Structure 1
Amino acid sequence: MENNSAIEKLIERAEAYAKTSLELYKYNAIDKSADIFSTLAVRLAITVVLIMFSLMINIGLALWIGEILGKAYYGFFVIAVFYLLLALLLYIFRKQWIKNPVSNFIIVKTLKED
């Protein structure tokens, strides 16, 4: 009779431990997901502001270059060619400059121990 009682207590404790461990893993996953998404949200907000800044600078530069070249639309052509070259560079080096750093960021954030 006492053996049954001891075994039942052991089983109850094992169940409680398993439930607690599962909850802990769930909360850790939620914490890491929230950390990743909040960091990405901040970076996205900063990127949007930088894009707006870049847009205004590019319009001003295009108008200025166009004034130097004699026609306003020439400046926009020059800026467009610059961005075409930049896009080609990004395409050629996309794994080194974009894919690998983003993958590493997500891995580091996921495996981070608090």
Structure 2
Amino acid sequence: MEPNATTTENLNMYEKAENYTKTSLELIKLKTVEASADVLSSLTSKIAVGAVVAFFTLFLNIGLSLWIGKELGEYYYGFFIMALFYLIVAIILHSAQHKLIKTPIGNMIVSSILKETKTDLTT
């Protein structure tokens, strides 16, 4: 009778290991979905705010261009001056893009994804 008891115990242990593996995989999937949803929702809200800021900036620039042009006597002078201003800004941003843009955005995405992992380690 003892060999049957051992076989039953092995089957129970196999079932428990199988259930544990399935549960662990499901937990990993859920954590991945949660992290992805968090990153996507943050990105979507930032894009929406960015679009509103872009429209504000566009109309502000048109207004400034017209005003500067009126003060200088020709409207197109204002547009040329604003274009020159943005060329200078683009050169500055291009020279410092890693420090000002790439590194902070990369750090934000990584910290957002790893936020769940950090809280798991502390509990």
TM-score range, shorter chain: over 0.9
Residue 12 of structure 2 corresponds to residue 13 of structure 1? no
Counterpart CA distance in 1 for 2:115 and 2:39 is: 11
Cα RMSD for the two superposed structures: 0.7
Write the mapping of 1:21-36 to structure 2, written as runs, cut at 5 A: 21-36=24-39
Distance 1:65 1:53 in 2: 18
Q: Which runs of 5+ in 2 are unaligned?
A: none
How many residues align? The count is 114
**Deviation beyond 4 Å, 4+ runs, structure 1:** none
Report the alpha carbon displacement of residue 97 of structure 1 after superposing the two structures with TM: 1.0
List gaps (5 residues or longer) in structure 1: none
Instruction: Give the whole-Å Cα distance in 2 for the aligned partners of 1:69 and 1:104.
Output: 45
- TM-score scaled by length of structure 1: 0.98
Higher relative contact order (CA 8 A, sep 6+): 2
Q: Which amino acid aligns with 1:93?
A: A
Query: Matches of 2:76 and 2:66 in 1, distance apart?
Result: 8
The percent identity for this pair of structures is 43
Q: Which of 62, 75, 80 is equivalent to 1:77? A: 80
Q: Calculate the TM-score normalised by the size of structure 2.
A: 0.91
